[in-house]
Every structure is written in C-alpha cells, then in structure tokens.
C-alpha cells in the first residue's frame, strides 16, 4: 500500500513539474528568473533549479551555481551558451580569475573562439595572474601566438604579461629568443610594446627569488 502511494505521489509530482516548466517557458519574458531560482534553491531542489535554468536560458544563475559547487567546466560551458554577446563578455570578465585559476587551459581555449572575440584582451590580464605555474607555457603561447600575432594586440598590458610568462618559464633560451625578436623588430623601425621598466622589475624579482632560494639550500 505504501509503495503504491509513493508511486502515485511521484507521478503527481512529475505531472506538476511538467506543468510548472511549461508555464515557465510560456511566460519566460515576464517572470523573475532569479527569484524563482533562489526559491527552488532555498528548498533544496537542486535538480529543479538546474532544469528551470536550462528551460529559461538562465545561464547567469547556472554559472554561479556551478562555481559554488566547484564544477568550473560546467560554469564555463554555460557562459558560452549565453546568447547576448555583451552579457557573455561581462560574465567572462567577472569570473575570469576563478576560471583561470581552476580551468586555465579550457578558459584559454574558449577565449580563442568567436564567442568571446569582442572582449578586449587587455581587460583579462589582471585575472591571468591567477593562472597556475603549470599552465605558464600555454598562457605564453596564447599571449604571443593568439593575442599578439593573430589579433595584433598592441596593448602594453598584453605584451608585459607575455614577457612575464617568458621570465617565469623554465627555459632561459626562450626568453633570449624573445628578446632577440624584439630587438630585431626595433631595428626594423617597429615599436616595442612592452614597458622596459616593467621588464626590468620582473627580471629583478626573479633574480631576488633565485637568490633567496639559493640561500635556503
């Protein structure tokens, strides 16, 4: 008897959910998405929260939800699904530091797509400082090959960060090659876009770090 009652209740709930989500979709433009999402969340209805957000295209709410439970790839995937390009760019700027910290390679890959082509690359540089050391090589390639060579960025912040990645790299030869390329460009009358004072400070910090490490050994 109890099992029958449970089955009937489950069926009733399924019908209710179907009608609820149909109502939501039919009145998508007139309802307060955040209020409903918060209400469902407060009742512990996580599954319904996600379903509601998917049905209504409430990707902003889903992004926050997935970030809160540390599912960063899903947060990034929902960011890419936002239709409004201005809103999509704003969300990336807001959460870039979190995404760079936890899913750096996936975030760099997403930034190369048309979904984020309108973001001024220099606006993401502060967030890039959260990228872990193990992803330095890929970050450097993103900055030099994509931002500088392909997108032809002349922003000092972009060029400074690229230089920073070379300094932090394990291969000193890469830094030397980079400096030689910059010197060759200068001799051909092309401007150098990274700031020399910044470059000196970065190198000085690395020297001090190495000296400190040697003293501890």
- Separation CA 125–CA 183 (nearest Å): 24
Last residue of a domain, one of 20, 42, 58: 58
Does residue 106 sit within a domain? Answer: no
Does residue 66 sit within a domain? Answer: no
Q: Provide the number of structural domains found in the chain.
A: 2
Q: What is the pLDDT of residues 171-181, one digit of tens each?
A: 667 766 766 67
Does residue 18 sit within a domain? Answer: yes
**Predicted model pTM:** 0.69
Least confident range from 58-62, 180-184, 211-215: namely 211-215
Q: What is the pLDDT of residues 68-127, one digit of tens each?
A: 889 999 999 999 988 889 999 999 999 999 999 999 999 999 999 999 988 999 999 999
Last residue of a domain, one of 58, 83, 107: 58
Does residue 171 sit within a domain? Answer: yes
Last residue of a domain, one of 38, 58, 78: 58
Domain that holds residue 45: 1-58
Does residue 21 sit within a domain? Answer: yes
Does residue 206 sit within a domain? Answer: yes
- Separation CA 90–CA 111 (nearest Å): 13
Does residue 108 sit within a domain? Answer: no
Does residue 50 sit within a domain? Answer: yes
Q: How many degrees, rounded to 5, is the angle at CA 196 between CA 193 and CA 201?
A: 130
């Amino acid at each position: 008897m109890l099992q029958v009652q449970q089955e009937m209740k489950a069926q009733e709930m399924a019908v209710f959910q179907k009608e609820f989500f149909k109502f939501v979709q039919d009145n998508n433009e007139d309802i307060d998405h955040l209020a409903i999402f918060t209400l469902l969340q407060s009742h512990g209805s996580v599954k319904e929260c996600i379903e509601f957000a998917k049905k209504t295209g409430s990707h902003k709410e889903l992004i926050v939800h997935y970030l809160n439970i540390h599912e960063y790839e899903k947060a990034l995937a929902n960011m890419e699904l936002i239709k409004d390009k201005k809103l999509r760019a704003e969300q990336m700027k807001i959460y870039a530091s979190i995404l760079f910290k936890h899913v750096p390679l996936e975030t760099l890959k997403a930034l190369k797509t048309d979904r984020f082509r309108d973001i001024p690359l220099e606006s993401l540089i502060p967030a890039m400082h959260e990228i872990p050391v193990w992803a330095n090589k890929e970050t450097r390639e993103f900055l030099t090959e994509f931002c500088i060579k392909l997108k032809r960025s002349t922003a000092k912040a972009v060029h400074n960060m690229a230089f920073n990645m070379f300094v932090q790299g394990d291969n000193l030869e890469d830094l030397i090659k980079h400096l030689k390329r910059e010197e060759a460009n200068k001799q051909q009358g092309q401007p150098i876009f990274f700031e020399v004072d910044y470059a000196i400070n970065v190198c000085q910090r690395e020297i001090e770090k190495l000296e400190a490490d040697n003293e501890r050994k």
